[in-house]
Amino acid sequence: MPRSSTRTSSVRRSRTRRVGESAYGALLLARIGVMGLLALLLLVAGVWTSWHTAQYAMLVKARERGMMTVSACEAERCTGSYVPTGGDGRPRTKVTIAQAAAPDKGERVEVTVEPGTARAVRTGTAGILHAWVPFAGALLLAALVVAGGMRLRRTAWVMGLLGAVLLGAAFAAM
In the predicted structure, residue 15 carries a pLDDT above the cut 60? yes
- Look at residue 7 in the predicted model and tell me its pLDDT: 61
In the predicted structure, residue 21 carries a pLDDT above the cut 90? no
For 39-60, how does the pLDDT look when each residue is reduced to its tens digit (9 = 90+)?
999 999 999 999 998 998 888 6
Q: List Cβ neighbours of 98 (8 Å cut-off, separation of 6 or more).
A: 76, 77, 78, 122, 130
Please state, for a pLDDT cut of 70, what percent of the chain lies above it.
Answer: 86
- Look at residue 100 in the predicted model and tell me its pLDDT: 87
Which of 100, 152, 144, 148 is CA-nearest to residue 126? 100
Q: Based on C-alpha coordinates, what's the Rg of the chain?
A: 27
Backbone angles phi, psi at 109, to 5 degrees: -145, 145
pTM reported for the whole predicted model: 0.80
Rounded-to-integer distance, Cα 108 and Cα 78, Å: 12
Q: List Cβ neighbours of 128 (8 Å cut-off, separation of 6 or more).
A: 54, 57, 58
Rounded-to-integer distance, Cα 173 and Cα 156, Å: 26
Q: Are 82 and 120 in contact (CB under 8 A)?
A: yes
